[in-house]
Homo-oligomer: A and B are copies of this chain.
Amino acid sequence: MASSRPGPNLSRIATSLGVSVATVSNALSGKGRVSEQLAEKIREHAAELGYIPSQAGRALRTGRSGVLGLVLPDIANPLFPKIAQAIEFAAKSADYGVLIADSRGDVTAQTEAINRLIERGVDGMVVVPRRATRISASSCPVAVIDTASTPGNTVAADHWQGGQQIAAHLAGLGHKRILIIGNNPESNVQNDRAGGIRSGLAKGMSSEMLWIERLEQTAGPGCRLGLARKAAEGFTAFAALSDLQALRALTELQQEGINVPADVSVTGFDDLIWSPVVTPALTTARMDMDRIAEIAISALLKTILESGTREGVIVTAETDRVPMQLIVRQSSGPARPAKENLTDGELAT
């Protein structure tokens, strides 16, 4: 029943070579004082036997599990794959494992998820917080990835700057009236993106905001956004705050017989999986998740290694925002001259 692990352990290697376990441990970790010849012999023999150190034994002794937690607001979020991938990659480079915890549901679920991770003994965790949630430092270091305007944010994409890039791109194409399409006004990320767009508008440009969740509260989920009418009113660019909303806008426009990008332009954020393969491919602003993850993880590890005592702090990094990259594809093009829009407007109304 005891199901003792199959592989060899330190003492097996030790007795097999006629040395002490401490020497083997030292040889393999390169820490104590072991002659180079003996060390080499030990390493060889260990490799030969296929020695795998017991994480449990090590964790018990060192007080560190070698595992980080990853908490996500809603694991079904289309952004999740990239985040998880980047975090896992950054963690494994430092020989850490990643334990996932989904906080599907309400805010208490987020707290429960965090607690579960702590019970599992993670050395630290990365939290992508639920909207408008503040992470209370628990009993281990925490890195928060959200957006610069979130208090306690460790590192994130520079959503504001991303918005500015989108705005500059649209300005360059001659667009004057921009409809910004967001999902939820409580999202810090979306507000920063929208703010960035507005701040980047050139002289003579104006914008209006459309929050989908508000609309859906009266019109029902999955309802039309009424973009054809907006186009008729003279909006020539639809800047969604996420590719999911951009996709929704794009298909609705196309369904109404409005051509993208000939008639109007559509842009998104995040460069999600479908962005390059839809027709027209989406112009979008991409975050450098690999870099964000790298910064978050290294800040986390630094805190973990330095502070021996497992205090619950929210770690900080030197760079707290990573620039977004504008990806120009086919969904954005030159604005139609205003007069034609007027004509369209007359036809549509």
Contact = CB atoms under 8 A, between A and B. Distances in A.
Interface of A: 1-7, 52-57, 59-60, 62-67, 70, 75-78, 80-82, 84-85, 88-89, 92, 97-102, 104, 116-121, 139, 221-222, 224, 244, 247-248, 250-252, 254-255, 257, 259-260, 273-274, 276-281, 308-310
A187 B280 CA distance: 27
A100 B102 contact: no
Contacts of A88: 75, 100-102
Nearest to A276: B222
- Report the copy number of this chain in the oligomer: 2
A98 B99 contact: yes
A277 B224 CA distance: 9
A277 to B, nearest CB: 5
Contact of A55 (B3, B57, B65): B65
A248 B66 CA distance: 42
5 contacts: A2-B62, A78-B273, A84-B84, A248-B277, A254-B255
Given A60-B54, A75-B88, A97 B116 contact: yes
Nearest to A282: B251
Nearest to A280: B255
A277 B78 contact: no
A51 to B, nearest CB: 11
Contacts of A5: 63, 121, 310
B81 A222 contact: no
A56 B56 CA distance: 5
Contact of A75 (B56, B85, B222): B85
A274 B100 CA distance: 24
B99 A247 contact: no
A257 B273 CA distance: 24
Contacts of A254: 251, 254-255, 279
A14 to B, nearest CB: 18
Contacts of A255: 254, 259-260, 279-280
Q: Which of A66, A80, A257, A280 has the most CB of B within 10 A?
A: A80
Contact of A4 (B63, B66, B139): B63
A55 B310 contact: no
A85 B102 contact: yes
Q: Which of A62, A221, A279 has the most CB of B within 10 A?
A: A279
